Amino acid sequence: MEIVFAVVVLIVLATVAGAVVLSRRERRVAAPERAVSTPRAQPIAGRGTGLAARVRDLFRGGQATEETWAGLEETLIRADVGPAAARTIVQGVRESWRSPADPATVLADQIASLFQGDDGWVPPGGSPGIVMVVGVNGTGKTTTIGKLAHRLAEEGRTVSVAASDTFRAAAGEQLEQWAARSGAHLVAQERGADPGAVAFDAVQAARARGTDVLIVDTAGRLHTRNPLMQELAKVKRVLEKANGHVDEVLLVLDATTGQNGIAQARAFTETVGVTGLVLAKMDGTAKGGIVIAVREELGVPVKLVGIGEGPDDLVPFDPHRFALGLVG
């Protein structure tokens, strides 16, 4: 009996100990679940998450004073739209807004109106039509070219890509991958080759193949480096001589770029005659207000917008959607 009693006691103790261990394990596993389920702070009800909240604060009470207009101009300048564009927009809101209209909606309408009459993105004609793509380092230029090649191919056009960025090995590798994905013909030479020679060969190859559109990549460069900018001008001259014309010169601007974007756009426009902007990296919190400043000061229209990393994430610029996104 003593042996049986001892066995029973041991079984009971083992069961209790197991339950305690299991309970502790369950608590340790459950703790992260409670942490994950903690709700995130939500925006204040009825307020936007962009300029809208600040604009509505300025117009509290349904009245606008000189202080209101000064505050609106300052808000726009902080959003990188530039002083000249900010004054133009504020004047438009002054003339259009009447209480109880939503001032944020009126502001978005005024921003969109700045782009009225601009030429949108139209694939170039000719055999081949030539699109030259320029920009500083790190703006997403090579990715933009890959997505543009994909877009044109999806529309039924034949595409060639000239790898005239011969200084960065990764650029050629990226283009090769994008070209394979879109079915584009890639023209490239060894690293360090003359960019103008690559451009010339690409035109000849595109003509021989009857290609619809030739996209020419160029090395990213600081707009303040004059020798590099002059080399870019040489590439354009080679293209014009070989083909008779360059249909588009697209400048890729990073959506996170501040007022330095105006200096970039001015330098590239003076050197190679930029015909349109591509606003890249609009897939995050960036609003891209800088393109308003560029449009106002240089008259260069926005043609395309990069909204993600996928091949289909390059879309024609829509002024109304852009304005709504900027205002929030």
Residues 81 and 141 in one domain: no
**Would you call 263 helix, strand, or coil by DSSP?**
helix
* Residue 195 covered by a domain: yes
Q: How confident is the model at residue 114 (pLDDT cuts 50, 70, 90)?
A: very high
Please indicate, yes or no, if residue 30 is contained in any of the structural domains: no
Same domain, 191 and 309: yes
Query: Residue 69 belongs to a domain with what CATH number?
Result: 1.20.120
Residues 232 and 276 in one domain: yes
Shared domain for 66 and 173, answered yes or no, is no
Do 108 and 232 lie in one domain? The reply is no
3-class state of residue 301 by DSSP: coil
| Residue 254, domain member (yes or no) | yes
Give residue-wise pLDDT tens across range 275-299: 999 999 887 666 799 999 999 999 9
CATH number of the domain encompassing residue 179: 3.40.50.300
Do both 239 and 90 map to the same domain?
A: no
Which of the 8 DSSP states describes residue 105? H
Split into its structural domains, the chain has a count of 2
The string of pLDDT tens digits covering residues 149-207 is 999 999 999 999 999 988 877 777 888 999 999 999 999 998 889 999 999 999 999 99
Q: Which of residues 89, 114, 139 is at a domain's end?
A: 114
Do 103 and 140 have their domain in common? no
CA separation for the pair 211, 208 (Å, rounded): 8
Same domain, 95 and 176: no
Residue pair 107/192 in contact (Cβ under 8 Å)? The answer is no
Structure token digits, residue 134: 């320029």
Is residue 262 located within the same domain as residue 286?
yes
Residue keyed to tokens 């015909």: 275
Residues 309, 163 within the same domain: yes
Residue 192 — φ and ψ, nearest 5°?
90, 0
Q: How many residues does the chain have?
A: 328
For residue range 267-281, what is the model confidence (pLDDT) as tens digits?
A: 999 999 999 999 998
Q: For residues 218 and 245, what is the distance between their CA atoms, to the nearest angstrom?
A: 17
Together in a domain, 240 and 178 = yes
Q: Which domain holds residue 202?
A: 129-317
Find the mean pLDDT for residues 52-70. Answer: 94
